[in-house]
Amino acid sequence: EGYRQLLVASEQIFDVGFRRLADQPFDRLTNMLAQIPSLVRLKSHLTVSQLVNRYMKHDLIRQAFSIHPLLVGGNPFNTTSIYALIHFLEREWGVHFAMGGTGAVVNALRGLMERNGINIRLNTDIERINIDKRLAESVTTTEGEVIEADRVICNADPPTVYKQMIDKSAGTKGKIIPDAMTRYSMGLFVLYFGTTCTYPNVAHHTIWMGERYQALLHDIFNKKILAEDFSLYLHRPTATDASFAPAGMDSFYVLCPVPNTMGGQDWNEEGQALRDRIVAALDRTIMPGLKDTITSDFWMTPDDFKTDYRSMHGAGFSIAPVFTQSAWFRYHNRDRRVGNLYFSAAGAHPGAGMPGVLCSAKVVENLVIRDESTL
Ligand SMILES: Cc1cc2nc3c(=O)[nH]c(=O)nc-3n(C[C@H](O)[C@H](O)[C@H](O)COP(=O)(O)OP(=O)(O)OC[C@H]3O[C@@H](n4cnc5c(N)ncnc54)[C@H](O)[C@@H]3O)c2cc1C
């Protein structure tokens, strides 16, 4: 009964938070003010954990139904309950897997762009966005090439763009909350591996919970220490798509929330040790024999997110999805002062995850159409 009531609450949040607002620009304070009655009615000031606790009584059930903010980089104990909409979203539209994996999604998007005559340049790193008189005029690559532009739409991490790619004198303004008060999502340790046998009893998606819940999240998000214990998300794509491994074998990744680089961990030291602890824990529980069957493993740490993806502080999901960093308070999809500089990314409205970033692309599309029509 508690679950049914939670689902009703989740649907009400979904109707407002996703259907009505996710692809709307929050570029004006009036957009935000207009939503305040709905946000109050939906109790958005509560955290996901507080909302779930209203309907669920058992500690373990409470944990199971409050983990969803972690999928978008938030601590369930301080993420706005707007993110409880994920329950209903999953029930309404299902949990999907693109055959061929994320690479297949990327290829499909590339095909769509090419069919629309968009020229894609790979392996081109943008070092600077050149702004003059409140207009973004061009970008400069690390090779020194200057590419002129009528509009610059950034998919890179907004805090990194503002701090490292734009001159301070350009007068840009991305979000309301000052940098010193900005809270970042956790880091991710992602361990990829194959196995020389199959584990048919392991589902496509498994959440593997450790003994501690709130205290562990406190270590990761607030104290930023790497504890000995952990909770894991285990992904077994071969449960759905056999092409991910040779016949008779399996393919996996494990996602382990860890402190972002603000924790100062030395991942050259910690990486191997954490990998060994995770393999031992899975071997002991749901993947017997893993220590001997594991093959071709490699991992990514918050350091890699920082260097490879230029994610500020190596955060897995850009700035955290707390209330004071959501909607109008999040990085705006168009700079507040430089009118032809746009953001379609996890750190911009509405937020992280594939549905979130695709919605942010829709917001930018609408803004560009609006801006073109007022020229
Ligand atoms: C292991 C893992 C599993 C996930 N699983 C899911 C899932 O199942 N479902 C879901 O919805 N979400 C999932 N997510 C989250 C989702 O992938 C992200 O939220 C989303 O990809 C963020 O999109 P983005 O466009 O903002 O950033 P990204 O996807 O990181 O794209 C930004 C790109 O910009 C490039 N870039 C950055 N700076 C520059 C520069 N200066 N010049 C040139 N290029 C630059 C980066 O290299 C990167 O390729 C997962 C994330 C991880 C890490």
Q: What is the pLDDT of residue 314?
A: 98
Q: Could you read off the pLDDT of 14-45 as tens digits, one per residue?
A: 998 888 888 888 888 888 788 888 888 888 88
Q: What is the pLDDT of residue 158?
A: 96
Of 129, 309, 360, the one to substitute when testing ligand 1's pocket (max ligand atoms within 8 A of C-beta) is 309
Give the angle 291-294-296 at the CA atoms, nearest 5°.
Answer: 145
- Smallest CA separation from ligand 1 atom 18, residue: 353
Point out the residues of the chain with pLDDT beneath 70.
375
If DSSP codes are grouped into helix, strand and coil, which group holds residue 100? coil
165 C-alpha to ligand 1 centroid (Å):
18
293 C-alpha to ligand 1 centroid (Å):
30
Please, where are the H alpha helices in the chain? Answer: 2-14, 29-41, 48-55, 59-66, 85-93, 102-115, 158-160, 214-218, 267-284, 290-293, 302-308, 354-373
State which CATH number among 3.40.50, 1.10.3470, 3.30.70, 3.30.519 fits the domain covering 187-308. Answer: 3.30.519
- Smallest CA separation from ligand 1 atom 19, residue: 353
Q: Which residues line ligand 1 (CB under 6 A)?
A: 125-126, 155-156, 188, 190, 255, 309-310, 316-317, 345-346, 352-355, 357
Q: What is each CA distance from 283 to 277, 292, 294, in whole angstroms?
A: 10, 9, 10
192 C-alpha to ligand 1 centroid (Å):
17
Q: What is the pLDDT of residue 19?
A: 86
| C-alpha span between 264 and 302 (Å, rounded) | 10
| C-alpha span between 299 and 308 (Å, rounded) | 13
Domain ranges of the chain: 2-93, 102-181+317-373, 187-308
| C-alpha span between 305 and 311 (Å, rounded) | 6
Please report the DSSP string for 142-154 in residue order: TTS-EEE-S-EEE
Q: What is the pLDDT of residue 43?
A: 85
Q: What is the pLDDT of residue 302?
A: 98
State which CATH number among 3.50.50.60, 1.10.40.60, 3.60.150.10, 3.65.10.10 fits the domain covering 102-181+317-373. Answer: 3.50.50.60
255 C-alpha to ligand 1 centroid (Å):
15
What is the chain's percent helix, strand, coil content, to nearest 5? 45, 15, 40
297 C-alpha to ligand 1 centroid (Å):
21
Q: Which atom of ligand 1 is nearest to the CA of 253?
A: 1
Q: Are strands 205-208 and 232-235 parallel, antiparallel or unpaired?
A: antiparallel
Q: What strands lie across the sheet with 294-300, from one edge to the other?
A: 205-208, 232-235, 250-258, 187-195, 294-300
Yes or no: say if 339 and 135 are a contact pair by the CB < 8 Å rule: yes
